[in-house]
Amino acid sequence: MEILIILIISAAVAIYIALPFFLKSGDQGNDFPVMSGVKTTAEKLKSLDNQKEALYSAIRDIDFDYSLGKLSKEDYEELKSKYKLEAASVLQEMDQPQKQSGARGPDYELEQEISSYRKTDNMIEDKNIEEEISAFRSASNKRKKENKCSKCGSEYSSEDMFCSKCGAKLN
C-alpha cells in the first residue's frame, strides 16, 4: 500500500516537473485556454515590432557582409530589396490598427483630459502662483542687497564676521 502511494506521488511530481517542457511558450501563464488563439492589439503590435526589428537587423547584417566582401553586388541588392519590402509591409500592418481607430492611440484620452484641464480656471491659480514666486524673488533680492559689504560691495553670508574680499568688519 505504501509503495502505491509513493508511486502515485512520484508520478504526479514527474508530470508537474515535465509539463512546462511540453507546453508551447505562449501557453505558459494563460488562464483562459479557450482564448489562447486570440491576439489582442497590443500583442499583435508587439509581434509586428519584433518582426520589424528582426528585419532591420537583417538589413544591417547584409550591409556589413557586403562591406566585408562576403556578398556579391547582385546578392546584396536582391536581399536588401527583399528585406526592405518585408519591412515596409510590416510597417504598413503596424499602421493599420491606428488608422482603423481614427489614429487615436492609447494616450489620446489622456491628452484630451490634459488639454481640457489646461483650458479651465487654472490660469487664475497660475497667476497667483506667479505672484507668489515674484514676491519671494524680490524678498530674496532684498536680502541679498542687505548682505553686501559697505566698503567693497561684495556679498557675504549672515554668519560672516569679516568680508572675504577686503577684510572689513561686517555689522
CA dihedral 26, 29, 31, 35 (to 10 degrees): -10
pTM of the complete model beyond 0.85: no
Q: Please, what is the end-to-end C-alpha distance for the chain in angstroms?
A: 99
CB 130 within 8 A of CB 84: no
What confidence score (pLDDT) does residue 100 get? 57
**What one-character-per-residue DSSP string does 67-95 give?**
HHT-S-HHHHHHHHHHHHHHHHHHHHHHH
Q: Does 112 or 71 have the greater pLDDT score?
A: 71
pLDDT digits (tens, 9 = 90+) for 125-163: 777 888 888 888 887 766 655 678 888 888 887 788 888
Cell representation of residue 12: 504526479
Cell representation of residue 15: 508530470
Which of helix, strand or coil describes residue 72? coil
pLDDT digits (tens, 9 = 90+) for 53-90: 999 999 999 999 999 999 899 999 999 999 999 999 99
